[in-house]
Amino acid sequence: MRMIIFGPPGSGKGTYASRLVGILGVPHISTGDLVREEIRMQTEVGRIAKQYVERGELVPDDIIISLLVKRLQKPDAERGFILDGFPRTIGQAKFLEENFKIDLVINLVVPDELIIQRLSNRLICKICGAIYNRLTLKPKVDEICDVCGGELYQREDDKPEVIRERLKVYRVNTEPLINYYREKKILRDIYCEDLTIPPEIIVKKILEAIDEMKKK
């Protein structure tokens, strides 16, 4: 199974993809995570990428594609993958098309107001990466991770002014890709218009879309 999850920043791509890993037996590959790891490791690529990430802009295609190629060479990606945050430009989609057959593209449809509300309240554990939300998924103890006791923090690019820029970038660069995959008839829309919909419900809808695709 080779699938892509599309959706604006904060639409829950990472949350749903990580739940699908155990069910589908393929890795969740987030190019945002790959970039953040380079930044954390203070590599040369990380140093260049950081300037784009901090402004909410896209990292150049050649950098992102080379990070992805490196990740796809690991043995766990042989059986397939769930891509999150890639492709984000037509150039990246062309790269995929030339190298892989994509089975299904999920498009999460979420209104902008919900995104801003969700991201500006998102908290992440510094140690294990678990995701919380000040409104919808509060930790038991303020600012402390339920899982590992780590301190929670807000991502630099989850500040309201950067969120607005990321949404603008998403609309301009990535939405044309939705039409690209729609025309190929491998795209399914999944509507998430309420922040309180439990992740299991959305995951169930995605699994139904996978079943439908397999029947074809």
Interface contacts to ligand AMP, rule CB under 6 A: 9, 31-32, 35, 52-53, 56-59, 64, 85-86, 88, 92, 157, 166
DSSP 57: P
Helix ranges (H only) for the chain are 13-24, 31-40, 44-55, 61-72, 90-99, 112-119, 160-169, 175-183, 199-215
The CA R_g of the chain, rounded to the nearest whole Å, is 17
Q: Which of 71, 88, 118, 205 is catalytic?
A: 88
| 166 is an active site residue | yes
Q: Which of 2, 155, 164, 182 is catalytic?
A: 155
CB of 37 to ligand AMP, least distance (A): 11
CB of 90 to ligand AMP, least distance (A): 12
User: What is the CB neighbour count within 10 angstroms for residue 58?
Assistant: 19
By beta-carbon proximity to ligand AMP, the closer residue of 59 and 209 is 59
| 36 is an active site residue | no
CB of 6 to ligand AMP, least distance (A): 11
By beta-carbon proximity to ligand AMP, the closer residue of 117 and 144 is 117
| 171 is an active site residue | no
CB of 101 to ligand AMP, least distance (A): 19
Cα separation, 84 vs 209, whole angstroms:
17
| 122 is an active site residue | yes
Are 63 and 48 in contact, with CB atoms under 8 Å apart?
Answer: yes
> What six digits make up the tokens of 156?
């630099």
By annotation, the residues acting in catalysis are 13, 88, 122, 155, 166
